[in-house]
Chain A
Amino acid sequence: MSDQVLGKNKPGISIDPATVQAHQHARDLDVTTIWERHEAMQPICAFGDLGLCCTICYMGPCRIDPFSKADIRGACGAGRDTISARNFTRAVSAGVAAHSDHARGICHTLLETATGKAPAYQITDAKKLKRVAEELGLKRDSSVNDMATQVGHKLLEDFGKANGFLNFVKRAPKGQQERWERMGVVPRAIDREVVECLHRTHEGVDADYKSLILAAVRCALADGWGGSMMATDLQDILFGSPKPVRSKVNLGVLREDSVNVVVHGHEPVLSEMLAKASKESEILEYVRSRGAQGVLLAGICCTANEILMRQGMPVAGNFLQQELAITTGAVEAMVVDVQCVMPGLAQAAAHFHTKLISTSNKARIPGVDHVEFDEGKALDCARAILRTAADNFKRRDPAKVDIPPQSMDLVAGFTAENAFYHLGGTFRGTYRPLNDAIMAGRLRGVGGVVGCNTVKITHDYNHVEIVKELLKGDVLVVETGCAAIACAKAGFLTPEAALRYAGKGLREVCEAVGIPPVLHMGACVDNSRILIACTEMVKEGGIGDDISQLPVAAVAPEAMSEKAVAIGLYAVASGITTFYNPAPRVLGSPAVYDYLTKEIERDFGAKWVFEPDAHKIAQAVLTHLDAKRKALKLAPMLYQEELARTA
């Protein structure tokens, strides 16, 4: 297929020179990576891509001709609307399942920690624990461990309780809660919503596309205001709430003279221990005895974001760079857990000395060493992994080593609690200055640029180009996940970036406070921080009575995973208009497409926008923010013309 069909708007695999160099090195060594495999997969089946292929029952697969005007039906009588809505709902529920199972794991770790079964861990942020306990109506005067046990049990109930609704739904602004009640989509229990979506999409159950999408909405809300939010809060409680921290990013952080250990995946439970163990003198001695100068722990994907936010550990790269970390030839061990871990890593690792170590009992890869992670012996587990890596150092083949030189400075570690408080300074910790800056027209609004990389789009291109234009348009950008890593590599996560990229209003704000124009808020479960930040903006007042009125937007311009679809849907259902590309597999059904991009705004106050072109997305975001400003009758932008067009 042509680049245009694939949504590639710039030729080449990546705009990141480190990625291009590492990929060339891999090719020189005859190592196949995702780009070659993707090429070999062409042509991609358009029925599947449009959501018109139904593999749900065993009478099919059935597929609907997208270019026929006839009312074509699959064997069971499901038409294009039912089929694509079912596919969409399944994608959402898989995404919700992934985030929420992550949260469940953290819940168990919290309980084990509180009951002394996981001695390596401790409750680090007792203040936040107290706040959550109070919110859940629990006794806050008990001991920290008692309180943690109660919080753990209470939140664990949210996965499968028989009655009532999720606890954190009450955190949302009134406007959102009312809309959810009216639409009948207040999430009940997390597992229940996932199960119900799977039930509804089973052969011969729910055939109404709208009813299916509303079920998907309820399921997605159980992620944003359930699983993801729980994961964020409990991780903050266990490992500490992030604080602004300096670090470095890109493949150039790997060191030729050190034992390089890369952690990849999503859960911080093991990587926190690896970070701890890597600083122990015993481990350092052991590493030196194996001929290396030290041990370097770096991350990929959201594990990277977790240990960057809390420990300041360097980031080796984002999703599309996972194999390239191995093909630098300088990685002794790559430790993986769950989500976004490509099975292709095993094939890449086979060409090098790199030991690929899987650690989650939920995620095994054939031909990979499995070290089952036991939370009770967490630190021993981490030490064993580091020793294995150190032993592997002498097997490194210098002829195969090529570490790209690029690495970039960054500041990360912002949260809903601290990010905007910086705007007020230490003595005036409120969202007031942020709201004031928006009302005065210094800031146009806030844009959340989030999400994955995809091999369908030139790596990092959309993230970087869009953010560049948003900054120029005085939009304060908050980021999570692989999007944050992409912008970190481009240098946007430094305070100096404000001087170079920001419009005058945004620059004034950044200079006054000393923050970067792009705030790194964490991993992809930490999109819940953005929901909380929006809620705080509503509470502070002056820029809207519910989230859907705020001059904010979400952008996921290189989306790849089912989790991203779930995030997109909970953002929209929470009132944040979401610019998303490549579109979820719904384009084959005009009805589903119309609902998601138009009618849904009537029900939830926000909609999806599916647009592949980076510049058009950026302009559309600015136009959208201006329309929101106009509706609120906010002051005109201080230094910039507002866009005449209305969204």
Chain B
Amino acid sequence: MENHRKIIAMTKLCTGCRSCEIACAVAHSQTKSVFQALFETPLPRYSIEVQHYDGVNLPLACRHCEEPDCLFACKAGAISKDLETGQVQVDLSKCVGCWMCVMVCPFGAATADMERGKAVKCDLCREREEGPACVPSCPTKALVHGELNDIPK
């Protein structure tokens, strides 16, 4: 149950450089190149965001919850959870842009992409063979794609 792989951030290592945000946007761009992605319309979106509160930097992305509020709120039936992998995914062909998921997510990890009319949240780079792009982009190795047990205490 707890052993599903997700993006885990070690906040003590995060310097708040926001490189993960850029890597996420590039990974979700058409061209996959930072220089070219800037000239795309619409601009690519990122779904990890470095939050800063009370002296702690927290790169926050979808937690792929055990009982995802977004899934229950989605009237279009676009959100599903894979019980094998634990991933919560949005089927963009079904998403109608009602933003219910955006409103109910307790982490603020789902956002509204007004240009495309679709919800945006971390898809763990499902189309990227090497896995989530944010992880190798982190210069201090604060991000891990793994199970909670993998994290050094």
Q: Are A50 and B19 in contact (CB under 8 A)?
A: no
Query: How far is the CB of B31 from the nearest CB of chain A, in Å?
Result: 9
> Does A5 belong to the interface (CB within 8 Å)?
yes
Stretch at the interface among A62-70, A297-305, A521-529: A62-70
Q: Which of chain A's residues have a CB closer than 8 A to the CB of B26?
A: 5, 46
Q: Which of chain A's residues have a CB closer than 8 A to the CB of B32?
A: 2, 4-5
Closest to A4 in B: B33
> Does B5 belong to the interface (CB within 8 Å)?
no
Known: A43-B137, A69-B43. Contact between A5 and B18, CB under 8 A?
no
Q: Which of chain B's residues have a CB closer than 8 A to the CB of A50?
A: 34-35, 38
> Does A588 belong to the interface (CB within 8 Å)?
yes
Contact among B17, B34, B44 with A5 in the assembled complex (CB-CB below 8 Å): B34
Contact among A4, A63, A583, A587 with B18 in the assembled complex (CB-CB below 8 Å): A63
Q: Are B17 and A65 in contact (CB under 8 A)?
A: no
Q: Which of chain A's residues have a CB closer than 8 A to the CB of B137?
A: 43
Q: Are B139 and A587 in contact (CB under 8 A)?
A: no
> Does A162 belong to the interface (CB within 8 Å)?
no
Q: Which of chain A's residues have a CB closer than 8 A to the CB of B139?
A: 43, 45
Closest to A612 in B: B35
> How far is A470 from B138 in the complex, measured between Cα atoms in Å?
41
> Does A373 belong to the interface (CB within 8 Å)?
no
Q: Are B22 and A46 in contact (CB under 8 A)?
A: yes
> Does B23 belong to the interface (CB within 8 Å)?
yes
Q: Which of chain B's residues have a CB closer than 8 A to the CB of A286?
A: none
Contact among A45, A67, A587 with B45 in the assembled complex (CB-CB below 8 Å): A67
> How far is A49 from B138 in the complex, measured between Cα atoms in Å?
16
Interface hits, A20-47 → B, CB 8 Å: 43, 45-47
> Does B79 belong to the interface (CB within 8 Å)?
no
Q: What is the total number of residues of chain B having a CB less than 8 Å from a CB of chain A? A: 22
Tell me if A's interface is mostly helix, strand, loop or mixed.
loop
Known: A65-B18, A65-B21, A67-B22. Contact between A46 and B34, CB under 8 A?
yes
> How far is A411 from B46 in the complex, measured between Cα atoms in Å?
54
Q: Are B44 and A67 in contact (CB under 8 A)?
A: yes
Q: Which of chain B's residues have a CB closer than 8 A to the CB of A612?
A: 35
Query: How far is the CB of A55 from the nearest CB of chain B, in Å?
Result: 13
Q: Are A583 and B43 in contact (CB under 8 A)?
A: no
> Does B25 belong to the interface (CB within 8 Å)?
yes
> Does B68 belong to the interface (CB within 8 Å)?
no
Q: Are B19 and A46 in contact (CB under 8 A)?
A: yes
> How far is A27 from B41 in the complex, measured between Cα atoms in Å?
44
Q: Are A43 and B19 in contact (CB under 8 A)?
A: yes
Mark A136-148 against chain B: 1 for CB-CB distance below 8 A, else 0: 0000000000000
Interface hits, B93-152 → A, CB 8 Å: 136-139
Contact among B19, B35, B138 with A583 in the assembled complex (CB-CB below 8 Å): B35
Query: How far is the CB of A89 from the nearest CB of chain B, in Å?
Result: 21
Query: How far is the CB of A594 from the nearest CB of chain B, in Å?
Result: 11
Quick one: which of A43, A45, A65, A69 has the most chain B CB within 10 A? A43
Q: Which of chain B's residues have a CB closer than 8 A to the CB of A4?
A: 32-33
> How far is A66 from B18 in the complex, measured between Cα atoms in Å?
11
Closest to A67 in B: B25
> How far is A67 from B139 in the complex, measured between Cα atoms in Å?
20
Q: Which of chain A's residues have a CB closer than 8 A to the CB of B38?
A: 50, 66-67, 587-588
> How far is A50 from B25 in the complex, measured between Cα atoms in Å?
14
Q: Are B34 and A49 in contact (CB under 8 A)?
A: yes
Interface hits, B23-58 → A, CB 8 Å: 23, 25-26, 32-35, 37-38, 43-46
Q: Which of chain B's residues have a CB closer than 8 A to the CB of A65?
A: 18, 21
Known: A67-B45, A69-B43. Contact between A47 and B33, CB under 8 A?
no
Q: Which of chain B's residues have a CB closer than 8 A to the CB of A43?
A: 19, 23, 136-139
Closest to B43 in A: A67
> How far is A7 from B35 in the complex, measured between Cα atoms in Å?
10
Closest to B24 in A: A67
> How far is A47 from B139 in the complex, measured between Cα atoms in Å?
13
Mark B55-96 against chain A: 1 for CB-CB distance below 8 A, else 0: 000000000000000000000000000000000000000000
Q: Are B35 and A45 in contact (CB under 8 A)?
A: no
Q: Which of chain A's residues have a CB closer than 8 A to the CB of B21?
A: 65, 67
Query: How far is the CB of B59 from the nearest CB of chain A, in Å?
Result: 14
Query: How far is the CB of B67 from the nearest CB of chain A, in Å?
Result: 31
Q: Are A47 and B43 in contact (CB under 8 A)?
A: no
Query: How far is the CB of B26 from the nearest CB of chain A, in Å?
Result: 8
Query: How far is the CB of A68 from the nearest CB of chain B, in Å?
Result: 8
Query: How far is the CB of B71 from the nearest CB of chain A, in Å?
Result: 27
Q: Which of chain A's residues have a CB closer than 8 A to the CB of B138?
A: 43
Query: How far is the CB of B43 from the nearest CB of chain A, in Å?
Result: 5
Contact among B18, B35, B45, B46 with A47 in the assembled complex (CB-CB below 8 Å): B18
Quick one: which of A7, A50, A65, A67 has the most chain B CB within 10 A? A67
The residues of B with any CB-CB pair to A shorter than 8 Å are 17-19, 21-23, 25-26, 32-35, 37-38, 43-46, 136-139
21 of the cross-chain contacts (CB-CB < 8 Å) are: A4-B33, A5-B26, A5-B32, A43-B19, A45-B19, A46-B23, A47-B22, A50-B38, A65-B18, A66-B38, A67-B21, A67-B22, A67-B37, A67-B38, A67-B43, A67-B44, A67-B46, A587-B35, A587-B38, A588-B38, A612-B35
- Given contact pairs A5-B34, A67-B44, enumerate 15 new A-B contacts (beta carbons under 8 Å): A5-B35, A43-B19, A43-B23, A43-B136, A46-B34, A47-B17, A47-B19, A65-B18, A66-B38, A67-B21, A67-B37, A67-B45, A67-B46, A587-B38, A612-B35
Q: 4 tightest CB-CB pairs across the interface, nearest first?
A: A46-B22, A67-B25, A43-B137, A46-B34
The residues of A with any CB-CB pair to B shorter than 8 Å are 2, 4-5, 7, 43, 45-47, 49-50, 63, 65-67, 69, 583, 587-588, 612
